[in-house]
């Protein structure tokens, strides 16, 4: 074996191909071409005198030799990353990489805006895969398949790290423009007369907050349905007596562009009661979640930019 020719980049390619089982996905994660992944795998096969992966219909399957190598490769890469963090000079303009971000529908546009306005101007070689979060991807975060998740409060796994970018302040009722609830005196009893449309991303709550608050006060509120799409929710509201609850300034700003839907702030007392229901473990607000797999300078730089950018965009949205 020509072990003396082994290098850091080759080990990163080996781990990425092992994780994804596809050269194209490994290339996307590392910010290199598929051809570069192929060339690196060929060089690694020469080093270890083994095919390393066998191509099958379900992807690249690691050989026994690869299974034996992976623990050592992970340890070496961790040590290289430690050297990077402690002794290398990080330059965003020269940095490459691929980051996977999942976000509640209400946050997706804001995440795109932060990347376009705060990250890519300084780090044009970074790549991002941003999609709507539709399931609990905690295991993907922990395992490194997803880099960041942008969510409301509502997570319990101690293996996850989190940073808050905004606390929940105002909470609003959204309804069609001519809905009675937007003009009449607002009380829980009046709210309970209208069916609730819950914007629900992946069943983070066993019971909608407003329904829960009504029950605590001896009232019953019907649930009209659930949707994880803000656009769908707005269409349903515009054509029905349904109401929905929102604490998201980005959603409220979106509603400002819609002629058929409007909003109204809840009373201070109702807002405080809702916050009490949600604040059992931590501050009620909006968070960026991430795991412990990636501690590279580029990862930490992107994380800081996301926190700063989303916090600033939230303040701008709240001020309008």
Same domain, 161 and 290: yes
**Cα 21 from Cα 62, distance rounded (Å):** 8
CB 161 within 8 A of CB 228: no
Per the structure, the complete domain to which residue 154 belongs is given by: 90-166+283-317
- DSSP annotation of 257 reads T
According to the model, what pLDDT value does residue 40 have?
93
Residue 162: CB atoms within 10 Å: 13
According to the model, what pLDDT value does residue 156 have?
72
CB 281 within 8 A of CB 158: no
Beta carbons within 8 Å of 88's beta carbon, 6+ residues apart = 297
Same domain, 306 and 227: no
Same domain, 152 and 292: yes
Q: Is 159 helix (H, G, I), strand (E, B) or coil?
A: coil
User: Distances from the Cα of 153 to the Cαs of 162, 167, 215, 247, in angstroms?
Assistant: 10, 10, 22, 11
According to the model, what pLDDT value does residue 138 have?
87
Same domain, 174 and 271: yes
**Cα 238 from Cα 251, distance rounded (Å):** 15
CB 146 within 8 A of CB 263: no
pLDDT tens, residue order, the chain (320 aa): 578 889 998 999 999 999 989 998 888 778 778 888 999 999 999 999 999 999 998 889 999 999 999 999 999 988 887 887 676 677 898 888 889 999 999 999 999 999 999 999 999 999 999 999 988 888 888 888 899 999 987 677 788 899 999 988 899 999 999 999 999 888 999 999 999 999 876 555 668 888 988 998 999 999 999 998 999 999 999 999 999 999 999 999 999 999 999 999 999 999 988 888 776 656 778 999 998 877 778 888 999 999 999 999 999 999 88
Same domain, 157 and 287: yes
Same domain, 8 and 74: yes
Domain boundary among 85, 112, 147: 85
CATH number of the domain residue 212 falls in: 3.40.190.10
Nearest to 50 by CA among 69, 77, 29: 69
CB 172 within 8 A of CB 252: yes
Quote the number of domains for the chain.
3
Same domain, 175 and 246: yes
Beta carbons within 8 Å of 291's beta carbon, 6+ residues apart = 141, 142, 143, 144, 159, 160, 161
CATH number of the domain residue 62 falls in: 1.10.10.10
Same domain, 66 and 24: yes
**Cα 180 from Cα 264, distance rounded (Å):** 11
Same domain, 289 and 254: no
């Amino acid at each position: 074996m020509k072990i003396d020719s082994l290098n850091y980049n080759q080990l990163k390619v080996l781990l990425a191909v092992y994780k994804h089982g596809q050269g194209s996905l490994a290339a996307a994660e590392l910010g290199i071409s598929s051809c570069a992944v192929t060339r690196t795998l060929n060089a690694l096969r020469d080093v270890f005198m083994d095919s390393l992966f066998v191509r099958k219909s379900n992807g690249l399957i690691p050989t026994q030799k690869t299974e034996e190598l992976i623990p050592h490769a992970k340890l070496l890469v961790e040590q290289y990353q430690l050297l990077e963090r402690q002794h290398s000079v990080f330059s965003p303009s020269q940095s490459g990489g691929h980051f996977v971000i999942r976000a509640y529908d209400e946050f997706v546009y804001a995440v795109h805006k932060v990347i376009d306005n705060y990250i890519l101007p300084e780090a044009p070689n970074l790549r991002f895969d941003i999609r709507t979060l539709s399931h609990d991807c905690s295991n993907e975060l922990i395992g490194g398949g997803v880099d960041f998740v942008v969510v409301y409060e509502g997570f319990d796994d101690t293996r996850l790290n989190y940073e808050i970018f905004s606390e929940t302040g105002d909470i609003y009722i959204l309804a069609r423009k001519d809905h009675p609830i937007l003009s009449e005196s607002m009380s829980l009893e009046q709210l309970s007369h209208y069916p609730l449309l819950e914007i629900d991303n992946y069943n983070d709550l066993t019971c909608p907050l407003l329904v829960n608050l009504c029950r605590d006060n001896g009232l019953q509120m019907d649930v009209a349905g659930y949707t994880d799409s803000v656009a769908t929710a707005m269409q349903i509201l515009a054509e029905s007596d349904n109401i929905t609850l929102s604490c998201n300034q980005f959603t409220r700003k979106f509603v400002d562009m819609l002629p058929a839907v409007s909003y109204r702030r809840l009373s201070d007392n109702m807002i405080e009661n809702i916050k009490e229901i949600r604040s059992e473990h931590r501050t009620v607000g909006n968070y960026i979640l991430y795991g412990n797999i990636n501690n590279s300078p580029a990862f930490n730089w992107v994380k800081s930019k996301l926190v700063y950018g989303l916090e600033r965009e939230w303040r701008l949205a709240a001020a309008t």
